[in-house]
Structure formats: structure tokens, C-alpha cells
């Protein structure tokens, strides 16, 4: 057992260099925000000028916490900042592009939806700014879970998680269903911690060239295998977590890798539906491509993604990605229906939260993890019970809160989000990265960009991830010392 040190990389960079990097990151971020707002204003498709101003304001407020974090040079991880910046893709860009999903709603409904988002942002930011707290000083915060002898093998976690991904993707039946649920949680936790810690070390300049190459290889392998299932979310999550880890350590934005990732995932998303039709068939059953055919599979996918064009000859990548991440059309739907056509749910989906924490071992007939999402989908006529059991529709915190309690619900959930994130960030401001608190923070970072979840699935899946991520080091510490 070793005593953890505050998470301040003085041994890597001087205070002067840290301040310089913070100022430079803030300047770059501010310039990027100004350029993005100008571009969005110039290319916006909205017919109502008021919607344009609302969209630009949502974009600005979503980015504001990240700007302040960059300017302050704070050492704590930007978990609240990441949670807030998801508003760009979920609300600002879909509103400014006036996408296909918004065409069925009136200007008044769209404007009210934007105001709900602004209400959420303002209350969350103000609460996060005003709330105070103290840094944690107990062993939970200060003592690293693993000894130095074991910590040096953190990078081996990437190898283990890559091997598990390989088996799970290409040899799915090799592990029984009952055991696989345990293995999935364990190796997910290992991969989560290893990816973030190693990428943060890369940002801090602590990696040797050989280590950086190894990390890149295994992360790329995991992304390719995850995406070969024709579900992009697994690969995107790895990229996001890796990028956040690197930026939090380096105070630099890796523009080229980010641009490359956006382009690649845009092309893949463009051709995803065609590839699913070909590989899954009409029944929707998943058919995994063979390992030997992976090269030709991705070549075909890229060609299909590049070949789909809009009527004016421009690629549909951007429009399709914006529609995919949009949540504002769901908010418009609920506003149109509630309370005029359907009464508020009065907390029904929130009352479904406690049951999700009961292990299925003790309750075999426990409702599914997406029970709240299914409830909303069926209530608003988006799916019947059979369809809801097979696929899920993203709602997010704001839409769920309004469906239950209207404007009051949105304000309340915004206050709770701002309060929770501020308390966590203050308490873990100087925690050791591999303490229990540090591991908790890494999981929270990964969950901060889960914008489509309702509160029930967010809390239950977050809890399960914490058990896996914090439980594995606990076992290693007690077994290996």
C-alpha cells in the first residue's frame, strides 16, 4: 500500500508551463467556439431567426463550462464539463440544422423545446458554480488501491480487454451466457481504467515511444472489433474516453486525430443502414463478419458510406450524424403531447429506479434495465411492447423530467446534476488517480457523455460499472498485495 499524492503533475511540468498550456488551450478553445458559432450561423437552415439565436445560445452555454475549465488550469477531471458539452450534439446542432426530425413540429413547439434546454443549462451551470465543498481526506480519496508493483501492469489491462473483445466478438458462444455477463463487467472495468489512465499518462508525457505505440495498437484493435458488429457506439465510446484522458493530461487538443475520427465515423454511419440490411437481413438477426474477411468488410463499408449522396451532391455524413445524436425532436414530441393530450407521468419512471438495484439473482423476473425508456416509448406511441423489448429510443434527462413534472421537473433535474457533479469534483480534486475515488471519477467521466439514457438506466448501469471497476482492484489488492 502506498500513500497517494495529489493529482498535480509537478514532476512532469513546471507550474509556469502548466499555466502556459492552460492559457493556450483556452485561447484555442475560444477561437474554435467563435469559428463554430460563425459557421453554424452562416450555414443554418432555420426559418425562424429566434430559433437561430436559441441554437447559438445553447451551443455557447454547452461549451462555457469547458472554456472555464481550460482557462482555470484546474487539475480535476472535467466530468461536469463533458456532461454539459454533449448539449452541442444533442440539442444545438440539430436545432441549427433544422433536421428532418423537426419538420413535423410547429415553430412554437420548437422554440419552447429550446427554452427548456436553456433552462436546464442555466440552472445546472449556476448550481455548479455556487455550490461549495471540501476535498476528501480519508483513505477512500488519498490511498491508492494497488501497490506500485501491481500498478506498473496497468497497461496490461489493455491487452486483457482486447483479448476478451476478440473472443466476445468472433467466438461469442465460447463463453456461456451466465459467465459472460460477469466477464463482460470485469473486462469492461479493466479496459475503462486502463484506457483512461494510459491516455492521461500519454498527455502528461510519461509514456515511452514503445508504450505509446502499444497503446495505439490495442485501442485501434478494440475499436475495429467493436465496430465490426455494426454498432458504432462501442468504438465511439473508446475514442471519446481516450481523447478526454489525453486532453486532461496534456492541455492540448489533438486536432488531427479528432478530425480523422469524425470523418471515419461519419462515413461509417453513412453506410451503416445498408450494411445492416446486407449482413443482418430482414429478420434483424445479427451476423458477425469473419475475422479473415474484416479487411474486405471495412473496404465495402467505406465505399458504401462514401457513395451515398444528397440530392445536391453533398455527402449526407454530417446530416445523418446530427440526426442520430439529436434529442431535441424527442423533447418536441413530449411537449406536443404533454399535458394537452397525455397527462404528466408524475414520477412513474423515477419510481422504477430502486428496483434496478436488486440483483437479478434474487429477482429473476426483474424488469429490464431499459424499463423507463420502454415506459416512455409506449406511453408516447413510439413503440409497442414487442418493439420496445427489442430496440430502445433515446430520451435523455430533460425529456424524461418534462414528461414527469413539466418545467419544474427540468429545473429540479438540472439542479441535481449541477449539485452532484460539483460535490464530486470538489471532493476528488486532489485524490490519487488509482484510489477508489479516482476510479469512481473515471467511471463518471465515461458516463458523462451518455446523453440518451433515462435516469433509471443511467444510475443502474453506472452502479454496475463502479462495482466492476472498483471491485477488481479490491480483489487484486487483497490477493496480490
Burial class (CB in 10 A: 0-12, 13-18, 19+), 234: middle
Q: What is the pLDDT of residue 420?
A: 95
How far is the C-alpha of 89 from the C-alpha of 323, rounded, in Å? Answer: 9
Residue 62 · residue 86 · CB < 8 Å: yes
Q: Please, what is the end-to-end C-alpha distance for the chain in angstroms?
A: 8
SS (H, E, C) the chain: CCECCCCCCCCCCCHHHHHHHHHHHHHHHHHHHHHHHHHHHHHCCCCCHHHHHHHHHHHHHHHHHHHHHHHHCCCCCCHHHHHHHHHHHHHHHHHHHCCHHHCCCCHHHHHHHHHHHHHHHHHHHHHHHHCCCCCCCCHHHHEECCCHHHHCCCCHHHHHHHHHHHHHHHCHHHCCHHHHHHHHHHHHHHHHHHHHHHHHHHHHCCCCHHHHHHHHHHHHHHHHHHHCCCCCHHHHHHHHHHHHHHHHHHCCCCHHHHHHHHHHHHHHHHHHHHHHHHHHCCCCCCCCCCHHHHHHHHHHHHHHHHHCECCCCCECHHHHHHHHHCCHHHHHHHHHHCCCCCCCCCCHHHHCCHHHHCCCCCCCCCCCCCHHHHHHHHHCCCCCHHHHCCCCCCCHHHHHHHHHHHHHHHHHHHHHHHHHHHHHHHHCCCCCCCEHHHHHHHHHHHHCCCCCCCHHHHHHHHHHHHHHHHHHHHHHHHHHC
What is the pLDDT, as a whole number, of residue 430? 82
What residues does each domain of the chain span?
Answer: 151-324
Q: Could you list the mean pLDDT of each consecutive 10-residue stretch along the chain, which spans 481 residues?
A: 40 58 80 88 84 92 90 77 90 82 85 94 95 85 69 73 87 68 73 84 82 89 89 82 82 83 84 80 65 87 76 46 72 91 92 84 76 89 74 86 94 96 90 83 85 88 82 67 52
8 Å CB contact between 254 and 243: yes
Distances (CA, A) of 374 to 67, 308, 325, 453: 36, 32, 19, 11
Burial grade of 309 (CB within 10 A; 0-12, 13-18, 19 or more): exposed
Q: Do the Cβ atoms of 5 and 432 come closer than 8 Å?
A: yes
Q: Long-range contacts for 271-279 (Cβ within 8 Å, ≥24 apart)?
A: 271/301, 271/302, 271/303, 271/304, 271/305, 271/306, 271/307, 271/308, 272/230, 272/232, 272/301, 272/305, 274/304, 274/308, 275/230, 275/300, 275/301, 275/304, 276/230, 279/230
Question: What pLDDT score was predicted for residue 452?
Answer: 86
Compute the distance between CA of residue 418 and CA of residue 257 in angstroms, rounded to an integer: 31
Between CA 447 and CA 124, with CA 241 as vertex, the angle to 5 degrees is 45
Give the pLDDT score at 178: 57
For position 220, what pLDDT does the model report?
Answer: 92
Measure the CA–CA gap between 370 and 171, rounded to whole angstroms: 27
Bridge partner residues of 3 (DSSP): 143
Name the pTM for this structure. Answer: 0.80
Amino acid at each position: 500500500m502506498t500513500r497517494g499524492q495529489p493529482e498535480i503533475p509537478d514532476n512532469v511540468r513546471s507550474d509556469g508551463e502548466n499555466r502556459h498550456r492552460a492559457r493556450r488551450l483556452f485561447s484555442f478553445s475560444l477561437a474554435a467556439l467563435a469559428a463554430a458559432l460563425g459557421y453554424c450561423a452562416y450555414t443554418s437552415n432555420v426559418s425562424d431567426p429566434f430559433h437561430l439565436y436559441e441554437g447559438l445560445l445553447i451551443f455557447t452555454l454547452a461549451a462555457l463550462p469547458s472554456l472555464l475549465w481550460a482557462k482555470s488550469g484546474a487539475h480535476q477531471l472535467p466530468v461536469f464539463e463533458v456532461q454539459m458539452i454533449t448539449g452541442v450534439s444533442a440539442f444545438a446542432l440539430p436545432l441549427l440544422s433544422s433536421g428532418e426530425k423537426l419538420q413535423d413540429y410547429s415553430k412554437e413547439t420548437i422554440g419552447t423545446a429550446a427554452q427548456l434546454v436553456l433552462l436546464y443549462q442555466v440552472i445546472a451551470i449556476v448550481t455548479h458554480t455556487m455550490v461549495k465543498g471540501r476535498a476528501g481526506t480519508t483513505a477512500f480519496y488519498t490511498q491508492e488501491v494497488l501497490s506500485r508493483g501491481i500498478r506498473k501492469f496497468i497497461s496490461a489491462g489493455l491487452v486483457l480487454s482486447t483479448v476478451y473483445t476478440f473472443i466476445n466478438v468472433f467466438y461469442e458462444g465460447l463463453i456461456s451466457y451466465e459467465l459472460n455477463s460477469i466477464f463482460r463487467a470485469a473486462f469492461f472495468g479493466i479496459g475503462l481504467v486502463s484506457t483512461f489512465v494510459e491516455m492521461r499518462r500519454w498527455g502528461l508525457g510519461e509514456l515511452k515511444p514503445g508504450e505509446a505505440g502499444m497503446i495505439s495498437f490495442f485501442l485501434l484493435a478494440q475499436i475495429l472489433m467493436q465496430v465490426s458488429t455494426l454498432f458504432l457506439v462501442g468504438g465511439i465510446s473508446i475514442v471519446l474516453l481516450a481523447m478526454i484522458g489525453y486532453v486532461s493530461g496534456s492541455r492540448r487538443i489533438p486536432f488531427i486525430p479528432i478530425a480523422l475520427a469524425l470523418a471515419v465515423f461519419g462515413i461509417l454511419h453513412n453506410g451503416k443502414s445498408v450494411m445492416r440490411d446486407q449482413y443482418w437481413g430482414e429478420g434483424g438477426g445479427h451476423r458477425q463478419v469473419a475475422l479473415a474477411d474484416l479487411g474486405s468488410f471495412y473496404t465495402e463499408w467505406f465505399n458504401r458510406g462514401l457513395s451515398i449522396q444528397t440530392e445536391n451532391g453533398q455527402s449526407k455524413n454530417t446530416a445523418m450524424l446530427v440526426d442520430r445524436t439529436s434529442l431535441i425532436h424527442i423533447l418536441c414530441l413530449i411537449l406536443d403531447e404533454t399535458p394537452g393530450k397525455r397527462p404528466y407521468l408524475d414520477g412513474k419512471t423515477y419510481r422504477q429506479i430502486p428496483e434496478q438495484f436488486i440483483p437479478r439473482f434474487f429477482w429473476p423476473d426483474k424488469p429490464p434495465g431499459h424499463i423507463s425508456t420502454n415506459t416512455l416509448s409506449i406511453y408516447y406511441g413510439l413503440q409497442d411492447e414487442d418493439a420496445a423489448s427489442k430496440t430502445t429510443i433515446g430520451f435523455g434527462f430533460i425529456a424524461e423530467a418534462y414528461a414527469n413534472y413539466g418545467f419544474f421537473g427540468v429545473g429540479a433535474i438540472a439542479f441535481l446534476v449541477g449539485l452532484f457533479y460539483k460535490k464530486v469534483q470538489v471532493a476528488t480534486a486532489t485524490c490519487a488517480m488509482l484510489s477508489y475515488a479516482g476510479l469512481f471519477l473515471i467511471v463518471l467521466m465515461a458516463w458523462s457523455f451518455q446523453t440518451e439514457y433515462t435516469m433509471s438506466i443511467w444510475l443502474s448501469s453506472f452502479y454496475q460499472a463502479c462495482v466492476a471497476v472498483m471491485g477488481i482492484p479490491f480483489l487484486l489488492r487483497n490477493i496480490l498485495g
